[in-house]
A and B are shown apart, each in its own frame.
Chain A
Amino acid sequence: MRMLVAMSGGVDSSVAAAAMVEGGHEVIGVTLKQWSGPDGRLPTAGCCTVADAEDARRVAATLGIPYYVLDYREQFAGAVVEHFGREYLAGRTPNPCIECNRTVRFGALLDRAGELGCDGLVTGHHARVDHDGTRYRLLAGRDRAKDQSYVLHMLGQAELALIRLPIGEMTKADVRAEAARLGLRTAGKAESQDLCFVGGDYRKFLRERHPESARPGPIVDLEGSVLGTHAGTAGYTVGQRRGLGVSFGEPRYVVGVDAATATVTIGRRADLAVDGCRVAGVSFVSGVPPEQGAAVSVKVRYRSPAVAATLWDAAGHYEVRFSESQLAVAPGQAAVFYCGDEVLGGGTIVEPA
């Protein structure tokens, strides 16, 4: 088959491309240019730099496949960067990787794969796709520490039919060993955690792009007493402990962010606990919602374990009821529902409930 591989210049997608070549497929490698500085050049730090594209190009050459850099800046700016700013301004904590997957990688790029005459799209995500005889299933990656199924929860049957995730069965160590065996220059490359368009400091990015994010306001406790001031709610996330600018004997955490009144509410660790949350924009991988009150496990943050919960359809959104109260459930983050290894679906947390 003819397959399009999204190559970031990292080791995972390098090995994904190699696996497709070894599998006998006709492979085309592409890197998405998603962001550029004011001078139109690729950023020099973050996840999609000129050097990353050069690494991907070199890996493609080593594998003997054609390689292109595609310009997705317009889609990325509109769907991901705008969303990122808007969510922070509204007092929420967005996950731009999820928006990028939804609109760019598994949206526009998946369409592009078809236009280029490809039968499918391959990425280096640590997750697995299988088919149980009736439908496609999205499963957590074999390497639990690297599992990326959380950021893929929006995929449905139509997408999964076209997607291959060849490194989902491998551990990160396997991936690096394979890259080294094949002589790929990304074998020992460090992982980038930064967002390409933010370059390390998201507060600075917000201040520059959205000066209104620097609107000062009060820091209050749960009783409403003013304890101090802050320089803009966009700098605060529910569950955040550091950088509050007020000190107490006992640690204090952000327990609420209200952008409308520019108020940051802080409280004790116990005050972070919530029994459930409301989730909007929910989709299910199978296309079929589970029955009312289905027992699931749910992840409310990327890097935290799934916890037991029940799931309730509440007409227009879903209610998640945790079996044990959870700390720091941040509006804007995704709630992703699992049954064991299998991703059932997910959506965006609106508010604790």
Chain B
Amino acid sequence: MAPYLGGEFGNPSGMHAVSRRAKDAIEAAREVLAALLGAAHPLDVVFTGGGTESDNLGVAGPALAGGGRGGVVTTEVEHPAVLETARFAGRLGCPVRFVAVDRFGRVAPEAVAAAVDGRTRVVSVMTANNETGVLQPVTEVAAAVRVAHPSVLVHTDAVQALPSLPVGLDRLGVDLLSIASHKAGGPKGMGALVVRGGIDLEPTIHGGGQELGRRSGTHDVAGIVGMVAAVEAAMADRQRFVSDIGEVRKRFETTLVAAIPDAVFTIGDDADRLVQHSHFRVPGVGAETLLIRLDSAGVAASAGSACHSGALEPSHVLRAMGMDRRAAAECVRFSFGWTTEPGDGDDAAAAVAAAVEGLR
């Protein structure tokens, strides 16, 4: 991506040679990403300004297409990018339904199918939860929905799943799929929505008509090239990532339980989850206090979600799973990635144990 931050400054929408080179770079990247994510044609890839924007277009785009007010069915545990877009569509007059989840945060395919009716235009179910890491049965949801309502579109937010799961339209059996560049190690503020050919989308960003009118605005050439290179590398590295990072996380959890026997894992081995996530609580120890102690010790962990000011919010995901307020306010999330070293799992667990000991 570096050349496009320097000498190759062309606006891909221009008519001259420098612009053409920028345009070529984007279109080459589009071809690569289309192939990686199972799009039939490169133009089925829409470059966006991140995962949130992809989700906005993936949900509101079909619901509002052609001036319609199509129904939206989604789950209670989606990322706010989907939840808030669904609510926005609701305010515009689209019928919106939020399907409940089980105690691990999983939605039942038949429950989603039952929420779909003749007015429904799009169903959105995330591939993996960004807080707990639990996997949703997206393929089964899509199949169940199509049995009764073949014309309903299925969108999935695959942002969190990208580095460790085989994501793609065909692999997941969906019609629209959102990704974000930074989850693949690419530049932040870049994303893409991949769609099946022929799907009509109402744009959520209006302007000069770039991206076939689906997403206006001058292209971030360097961001696009960087994102696609990162996604390509991450997908090629997936098997190794799953086994190495899975090992580090396992070490983390084993060491943690040995030091803090009453630590409670939110998902544990009870349901399929992302290998890179560990989500747990230490009873009696608030997440805020634990995270600040860990930060002082140089360990960067997080909790459910942070609000605009940076304060921890009561997690809508954990509440939807039926967890009580107090327990939810104790949950913290550790995630491991490409910068993780083999010993990091043990070190992180030791840091948690030390912080907890200081609080008890």
Task: Spell out A's residues near B (CB within 8 Å).
Answer: 28, 31, 33, 36, 40-42, 50, 53-54, 57, 66, 68-71, 112, 115-117
Contact = CB atoms under 8 A, between A and B. Distances in A.
Contacts of B307: 33, 36, 40-42, 69
B81 to A, nearest CB: 16
> Secondary structure of the A side of the interface?
mixed
A68 B292 contact: yes
Given A42-B307, A116-B289, 11 more contacts: A28-B292, A41-B308, A53-B311, A54-B309, A66-B296, A69-B311, A70-B288, A70-B311, A71-B311, A71-B313, A116-B293
Contacts of B313: 40, 71
Contact of A68 (B288, B308, B358, B359): B288
B170 interface: no
A17 to B, nearest CB: 16
B295 A66 contact: yes
B320 interface: no
16 contacts: A28-B292, A40-B307, A40-B313, A50-B308, A53-B310, A57-B310, A66-B292, A66-B295, A69-B309, A69-B310, A70-B288, A70-B311, A71-B313, A116-B289, A116-B293, A117-B296
A115 B289 contact: yes
A57 B309 CA distance: 9
10 A-B pairs with least C-beta separation: A69-B311, A53-B309, A33-B311, A69-B310, A69-B309, A71-B311, A115-B289, A42-B309, A50-B309, A50-B308
Interface centre among B292, B295, B313 (most CB of A within 10 A): B292
Nearest to B312: A71
Nearest to B358: A117
Nearest to A71: B311
Nearest to B310: A69
Contacts of A71: 288, 311-313
B311 A116 contact: no
B308 A112 contact: no
Interface centre among A33, A42, A71 (most CB of B within 10 A): A71
A116 B292 contact: yes
A220 B109 CA distance: 68
Given A117-B296, A117-B358, A112 B310 contact: no
Contacts, number: 47
Contacts of B311: 33, 53, 69-71
A54 B312 CA distance: 15
A57 B311 CA distance: 12
Contacts of A36: 307
Contacts of B309: 31, 33, 42, 50, 53-54, 69
B289 A112 contact: yes
Contacts of B312: 71
B303 to A, nearest CB: 10
B301 to A, nearest CB: 13
B210 to A, nearest CB: 32
Interface string B127-166: 0000000000000000000000000000000000000000
B359 A115 contact: yes
A89 B69 CA distance: 46
A217 B359 CA distance: 54
Nearest to A54: B309
Contacts of A69: 307, 309-311
A54 to B, nearest CB: 8
Interface string B276-305: 000000000000110011011000000000
A42 B310 CA distance: 11
B310 A68 contact: yes
Contacts of A42: 307-309
Contacts of A112: 289
B163 to A, nearest CB: 28
A53 B296 CA distance: 21
A171 B359 CA distance: 39
A47 to B, nearest CB: 14
A50 B288 CA distance: 19
Contacts of B358: 117
Contacts of B295: 66
Nearest to B329: A71
Interface in B309-337: 309-313
A33 B313 CA distance: 10
B308 A117 contact: no
Contacts of A70: 288, 311
A41 B311 CA distance: 10
Contacts of A31: 309
A115 B288 CA distance: 11
B311 to A, nearest CB: 4
Interface centre among A28, A69, A112 (most CB of B within 10 A): A69
A123 B292 CA distance: 19
Given A31-B309, A71-B311, A117 B293 contact: yes
Contacts of B359: 115
Contacts of B288: 68, 70-71
B186 to A, nearest CB: 26
B352 to A, nearest CB: 15
A71 B311 CA distance: 6
A138 to B, nearest CB: 28
A57 B313 CA distance: 18
A116 B296 CA distance: 9
B283 to A, nearest CB: 15
Contacts of A68: 288, 292, 310
Interface in B23-48: none
A193 to B, nearest CB: 21
A165 B206 CA distance: 52
B320 to A, nearest CB: 15
Nearest to A36: B307
Contacts of A50: 308-309
Interface string B338-359: 0000000000000000000011
A31 B288 CA distance: 13
Nearest to A72: B311
Nearest to A67: B310
A77 to B, nearest CB: 13
Contacts of A57: 310
B137 to A, nearest CB: 30
A136 to B, nearest CB: 27
Interface centre among B288, B309, B310 (most CB of A within 10 A): B309
A293 B309 CA distance: 50
